[in-house]
Structure 1
């Protein structure tokens, strides 16, 4: 999207909200961005080992801390996340909004350390993580927070001698994603979940043996106008914006999170922030 179109859509968003009256503007700026929702999804497959029945993967994405989203709000979200008792937690990118201007320090590390997941905490880069010379800073912060980076690599999550595969790509906009390297040596019968910040990358992922892709980046459009739809979605989130997508003749399922924070404009309208709980269920042995 060129700069002129981008600015036009942002202006449209502001005009619509302001023109709707002070109450709507206040709601979109001060109320809905704090209305965290918990989505619950069940992932079924014959490839999921029966020992993983009930295994919970919790995804959160796009916190954009520093742009109208504070550490206190982040800690409140973490409290909600921990109450879900996840087995594994995944973060699909964009930790802070402007890494080169953010006041890095112990509080954000301490917040990340509070997240509890016995089978690990994993993350991938988003475009804001690579932007503003923040690549190495954010990597260090996430590592101190107990998160493992999956940058064009995969890991095996094991339970009672059975396993699934969790993989992650580098950011598609500012990084160098390499899905061939990422999935190298992954057993074809292993249930494989892939973390990719940008959802539209799914059009390439469908060529590979991936069962589920988890993405963010879109913010669900952030502002949705009734009977009009999304006012704006960023590059690489123009085709797949929110929710679940399935691909005919392919095993891939794509889930796109609306994320937590906001960027560019501090509004959410008909687009509440969310974290998602994915519960695994084996269909092995079912008739």
Structure 2
């Protein structure tokens, strides 16, 4: 005999089913296709750690991710995004992959460079490969665009960020996990153990490999925050390598030396032109030295 369903569980299941029905109805369809993908959350967080030098206090980093230009996201939206980024006055800017949905089929790639070139970041603009940047024979197309836009493309490489007082942190960028060849060991070789380290990795589940490797903060995208989420059910779309971690903050590893992972919901859509309860996101991180 099947176990009797509790009233609480039944109500939750019923409400979830009704909301699912609404989301697939005419109103939900219009909202998920035409409204939410054009919204933008600007999320602001303070990152504290004892290894962040005092001179890096109030150092501002903007992360944006997963524009997927050509599927639903447009150049006009990118231009508006660049303006929003500059209004935040970041010290550094990170792009964590998937610029175009299909690089070899995107007809307006010449318009991307003038837009991205307008991003102002006195301590540098950095990017990594996502799976869509390699896909569609896009590896060289993407590299050419980012180079000409003033971004430093990190592919299994590290970059020292140094201030005038010689205080420093380190930035590490990995190749894409799905279509590239990520090599964390090679990217971190010879890095000093006593500096604060930020890892850019397109797929968030790469954090499983970064735990206990001296990484303090990992910034990822790829998941689109699940892209479509149903109350009491959760995310409907979790691509490979974003099945463990798909949105927001996670603290991983040992409590004394944790890896902080942040998964950005991205800006565009892919596969399905919908977003539901997973608004596009631009993220501002402010660094602080912890006592």
TM-score, normalized by length of structure 2? 0.90
Aligned-CA RMSD value = 1.4
Once residues 105 and 222 of structure 1 are traced to their aligned partners in structure 2, the CA distance between those partners, rounded to angstroms, is 25
The verdict on how the C-alpha distance between 1:19 and 1:162 changes in structure 2, with shifts beyond 3 A counting, is closer
Secondary structure of 1:133 counterpart:
coil
Q: CA deviation at 1:150?
A: 0.6
TM-score, normalized by length of structure 1? 0.92
Q: CA deviation at 1:19?
A: 6.2
Secondary structure of 1:241 counterpart:
coil
Partner of 2:207: 202
Once residues 43 and 50 of structure 2 are traced to their aligned partners in structure 1, the CA distance between those partners, rounded to angstroms, is 23
Q: CA deviation at 1:17?
A: 6.7
Partner of 2:276: 269
Aligned pair count reads 270
Secondary structure of 2:71 counterpart:
coil
Once residues 50 and 231 of structure 1 are traced to their aligned partners in structure 2, the CA distance between those partners, rounded to angstroms, is 42
Q: CA deviation at 1:100?
A: 1.6
- Equivalent pair of 2:212/2:253 in contact (CA under 8 Å): no
Q: Does 1:217 align with 2:212?
A: no
Partner of 2:132: 128
Once residues 265 and 79 of structure 1 are traced to their aligned partners in structure 2, the CA distance between those partners, rounded to angstroms, is 27
Secondary structure of 1:56 counterpart:
strand
Once residues 35 and 119 of structure 2 are traced to their aligned partners in structure 1, the CA distance between those partners, rounded to angstroms, is 25
Q: Does 1:192 align with 2:208?
A: no
Structure 1: tracts of 5 or more residues without a match: 1-15
Query: Higher Cα Rg: structure 1 or 2?
Result: 2
Structure 2: tracts of 5 or more residues without a match: 1-19
- Equivalent pair of 1:17/1:25 in contact (CA under 8 Å): no
Once residues 73 and 104 of structure 1 are traced to their aligned partners in structure 2, the CA distance between those partners, rounded to angstroms, is 13
Once residues 18 and 102 of structure 1 are traced to their aligned partners in structure 2, the CA distance between those partners, rounded to angstroms, is 34
Once residues 182 and 267 of structure 1 are traced to their aligned partners in structure 2, the CA distance between those partners, rounded to angstroms, is 36
Partner of 1:163: 168
Q: Does 1:80 align with 2:80?
A: no
Q: CA deviation at 1:23?
A: 1.5
From 94, 99, 103, give the equivalent of 2:103.
Answer: 99
- Equivalent pair of 1:169/1:182 in contact (CA under 8 Å): yes
The verdict on how the C-alpha distance between 1:119 and 1:113 changes in structure 2, with shifts beyond 3 A counting, is same
Q: Does 1:63 align with 2:104?
A: no
Once residues 167 and 19 of structure 1 are traced to their aligned partners in structure 2, the CA distance between those partners, rounded to angstroms, is 40
Once residues 227 and 19 of structure 1 are traced to their aligned partners in structure 2, the CA distance between those partners, rounded to angstroms, is 14
Partner of 1:254: 261
- Equivalent pair of 1:127/1:174 in contact (CA under 8 Å): yes
Partner of 1:144: 148
Q: CA deviation at 1:45?
A: 0.7
- Equivalent pair of 1:153/1:182 in contact (CA under 8 Å): yes
**Following superposition of structure 1 onto structure 2, how do residues 3-22 of structure 1 map, counting pairs within 5 Å?**
16=20, 20-22=24-26
From 14, 36, 40, give the equivalent of 1:36.
Answer: 40
The verdict on how the C-alpha distance between 1:19 and 1:71 changes in structure 2, with shifts beyond 3 A counting, is closer
